[in-house]
Structure 1
Amino acid sequence: MTAITAELDTKTKRTPVKGMMDNVMEQFNSAAEQVNLHPNIRKILSITNNEIIVHFPVKMDNGDVEIFTGYRVQHNNALGPYKGGLRYHPTVDIDAARALAMWMTWKTSLAGLPYGGGKGGIQLDPSKYSQNELERITRRFTFALADNIGPEHDIPAPDVNTNSQTMAWIADTYMSTRPPAERTANQHVVTGKPDGSGGLEGRDRATGYGVFLNIKFWAERKNESLYGKKFIVQGFGNVGYWAAYFLEKEGAKLVAVQDAFGSIQNADGIKVDDLFNYTKVNNGSIVDFPESVVLNKEEFFGTECDICIPAALGNQITVENAHTIKAKLIAEGANGPTNVEGEKLLLERGVTILPDILCNSGGVVGSYFEWLQNRNGELWQLDEVMAKLDKKMKESFNKVYEYSEKEGMDLRTAAYCIAIKRIEKAYIQRGIFP
């Protein structure tokens, strides 16, 4: 997900596809121009504060030692501790971590949270390792990060191919490195933990629920019902599943799904829980789901539908496939799924895009609730969490939608403008350390 280095194809005259870092910088610079961002603050926000790369050895089940590379990029902490996920994926590198960390800065600022932005992970394919190996890798990575994370400094969370179990290992390892009297006070070094280990009820569904809420709020603004609306989901992990689950509850119909293994379709509708239960016994894959037909990978985004939810990886919707999209609404469940050129084409066609820093921010809002719960020694019930999440997400949506309408700009630019202006205000009020 860093800049793709494909060579120029002389036959089709295609230029190399821009990477995530290119996209986030174009988006930032466009919004900075819109709000006339102070040049000095623009310089600060254009770079990261810290970039940590660690190489560490781990003994495998067969006795061999493998060397892994881990990353943690801390973009900005003007508003509070760095906050952002850790992903385990072959595409993880320093450029991807930079882009994702910057997106987290805008996301936490837009949501009105007392956080900055950070991101990282390990460059690996977790499917190639046993559960015991993944535990040792995670614990060794946590130890290697040492004092670069902490509950008031940098707070990781789950991301692609990491989950509550991963966070439990990190929390336990981190707390083990603290003096005995401080260990329980450091439980909130990570969020997204299991319920029994300081986790928040409902954190598992927070991101997907937030995606659903943004779609619902948009439909309400348009005086439209979600009942009968057809939608497609790319990525049927935690985010994609919960977004689909709540949309189905509103009467919407899932008609196509794509994951890392393949694509399936059923114009009459795919039952969300039936597909979810199938993946649990099919190694996490949607392939060969009985009540579906195979869909060509390249044809997925062109499926006839009303709503498209890219909830997998970045740079999935580009100028190469944007023209095939039939949906009138794209709700970005993933970070950076639409690149700049693809977005321009979609906006020209009148397609509405609910931007990632707004649409999938339910996860970091849920993380904030968990962090507060741990900090204050409280236990929140599921209905309380969902009500708080609903309120927070609606506040953010309304701010962005109304700013967009007032200024005559797309929702992404509006979201960036609001986020950047909040950070700028903090710098102006505090000044720059000499």
Structure 2
Amino acid sequence: MTTLTKEIKKEEKKVPVRGMMDNVMEQFESAANQIKLHPNIKKILSITNNEIIVNFPVKMDNGDVEVFTGYRVQHNNALGPYKGGLRYHPTVDIDAARALAMWMTWKTSLAGLPYGGGKGGIKLDPSKYSQSELERITRRFTYALADNIGPEHDIPAPDVNTNSQTMAWMADTYMSTRPPAQRSANQHVVTGKPAGSGGLEGRDRATGYGVYLSIKFWAEKNAQVLTDKKFIVQGFGNVGYWAAYFLEQDGAKLVAVQDANGSIQNPKGIKVEDLYNYSQINEGSIVNFPQAQPVDNDKFFGLDCDICIPAALGNQITKDNASKIKAQLIAEGANGPTNVEGEKILLKRGITIIPDILCNSGGVVGSYFEWLQNRNGELWQLNEVMAKLDKKLKESFDKVYDYSRQEGIDMRTAAYCIAIQRIERAYVQRGIFP
């Protein structure tokens, strides 16, 4: 989306964030048991290292002052600096941040990056604030967090309802708090910045491209082609759009989309670029797109398709709708879109799930490239970035796919096992102070 205010609607349903923490802990327990994780390391990984809550006042356009609550949870840094997004959403709270931070630890470890996991954000609905108010909110939040983030300590990135503009404000604010001689050396305090302000060419599409690649790699492993495969996408923001864009380029057919405002379908196919252009002039909404028909939201996941891409928020596929899904493949573009009960139903039905920590890891891999680019004073071209993404994501996919087949387990458990074993090795080799 082009602005923050277009990325969220008042009608958006509140996500049961407590369920997210339950999900991540149950998934962790399953993998820990599978690999017989040492009890002491299990204790460490079951809790977060630091939890930061800040309350800060901001003056609104009308002169009134509002007080906002911001969060940053730092789960684990055994492998390197904390890494993870900041989201602006009414459902942001400490439990949501804990769950998302733990997922980031597994995601960065699985990708083989020198990072740990962190997550956070501000509890607010961005659609209620002007662009100038959002800038002041962001800068004040950054100032409040400044002693707890840093390019070698904790590196935020965009997430739900935040974007490259948000990161530019954060970087500028953080650098302004450093001594003059150190400012340029702190540009990589955040990633996901605009390309003209130290950002990476292609970072905007990295997450969605990674979702597409995961689907492509799965198809190749199973001797299938994407041509004429029908897919549906929940969420048509940055991740959903780019995943759909690349799938369409490979001959797949988008047949239905759902966003916070409603759902549409066209069994004959929806042109991705036409829908994107329509949404840009329709306040970010896909509703009433002339080349598709409306469909009830509760029927969306039951639509006929080969591939389902949940790319919105967490806990969208549950025991209430998992039995209705017709897709043979679920590619998780969002973090935690499938809860534990829903997943059990899908697996029992023989449906493959490419888990979030693998499927949407293109974003954090792109962030790593941007961090390296800033750190080393380099500028990478788009074709170079995309080639590096291809190579890195193929390595991760092959590891998870092969491990799942060797051990006879689902891909999520396989991904967790690989990620946790890497962290376990770090603790075994280094020991625990004192």
Common topology (TM > 0.5):
yes
Helix, strand or coil: the match of 2:316?
coil
What is the letter of the counterpart of residue 29 of structure 1? E
Q: Please give the alpha-carbon distance, in whole angstroms, between the structure 1 residues aligned to 2:276 and 2:60.
A: 31
What is the letter of the counterpart of residue 314 of structure 2? G
Helix, strand or coil: the match of 1:83?
strand
Count of residues paired in the alignment: 422
Q: Please give the alpha-carbon distance, in whole angstroms, between the structure 1 residues aligned to 2:229 and 2:15.
A: 35
Q: Please give the alpha-carbon distance, in whole angstroms, between the structure 2 residues aligned to 1:385 and 1:263.
A: 34
Q: Please give the alpha-carbon distance, in whole angstroms, between the structure 1 residues aligned to 2:218 and 2:161.
A: 30
* Alpha-carbon RMSD: 1.0
CA 229–41 in structure 1, closer or farther in 2 if over 3 Å, else same? same
Cross-structure match for 2:412:
412
How far has the Cα of 1:3 moved from its partner? 8.4
1:389 equivalent to 2:395? Answer no
| Superposed structure 1 runs of 4+ greater than 2 Å apart | 1-5
Cross-structure match for 1:11:
none
Cross-structure match for 2:339:
339
Q: Please give the alpha-carbon distance, in whole angstroms, between the structure 1 residues aligned to 2:230 and 2:83.
A: 34
Q: Would you say the 8 A contact 1:3–1:21 is kept in 2?
A: no
Cross-structure match for 2:212:
212
Cross-structure match for 1:163:
163
Q: Which residues of 2 match residues 13-52 of structure 1 at below 5 A?
A: 19-52=19-52
Q: Would you say the 8 A contact 2:15–2:314 is kept in 1?
A: no
1:424 equivalent to 2:402? Answer no
Cross-structure match for 2:260:
260
TM-score (norm 2): 0.96
Helix, strand or coil: the match of 2:288?
coil
Helix, strand or coil: the match of 1:132?
helix
How far has the Cα of 1:146 moved from its partner? 2.1
Q: Please give the alpha-carbon distance, in whole angstroms, between the structure 2 residues aligned to 1:380 and 1:170.
A: 22
Q: Please give the alpha-carbon distance, in whole angstroms, between the structure 1 residues aligned to 2:81 and 2:295.
A: 44
How far has the Cα of 1:2 moved from its partner? 9.3
Helix, strand or coil: the match of 2:255?
strand
Cross-structure match for 1:248:
248
What is the letter of the counterpart of residue 59 of structure 1? K
Q: String of CA shifts for 1:339-396, please: whole Å, max 9, x gaps.
A: 0000000000000000000000000000000000000000000000000000000000
Q: Please give the alpha-carbon distance, in whole angstroms, between the structure 2 residues aligned to 1:2 and 1:422.
A: 35
Helix, strand or coil: the match of 1:192?
coil
Q: Please give the alpha-carbon distance, in whole angstroms, between the structure 2 residues aligned to 1:196 and 1:286.
A: 30
Helix, strand or coil: the match of 1:156?
strand
Q: Would you say the 8 A contact 1:3–1:22 is kept in 2?
A: no
Q: Would you say the 8 A contact 1:308–1:331 is kept in 2?
A: yes
Helix, strand or coil: the match of 2:393?
helix
What is the letter of the counterpart of residue 222 of structure 1? N
Q: String of CA shifts for 1:46-102, please: whole Å, max 9, x gaps.
A: 000000000000000000000000000000000000000000000000000000000
Cross-structure match for 1:78:
78
TM-score (norm 1): 0.96
Helix, strand or coil: the match of 2:63?
coil
Q: Which residues of 2 match residues 185-224 of structure 1 at below 5 A?
A: 185-224=185-224
Q: Which residues of 2 match residues 10-409 of structure 1 at below 5 A?
A: 19-409=19-409
Q: Would you say the 8 A contact 2:331–2:354 is kept in 1?
A: yes
Q: Please give the alpha-carbon distance, in whole angstroms, between the structure 2 residues aligned to 1:123 and 1:192.
A: 21
How far has the Cα of 1:263 moved from its partner? 0.4
Q: String of CA shifts for 1:12-69, please: whole Å, max 9, x gaps.
A: xxxxxx6100000000000000000000000000000000000000000000000000
Helix, strand or coil: the match of 1:286?
coil
Helix, strand or coil: the match of 2:334?
coil
Q: Would you say the 8 A contact 1:2–1:93 is kept in 2?
A: no
Q: Please give the alpha-carbon distance, in whole angstroms, between the structure 1 residues aligned to 2:334 and 2:419.
A: 19
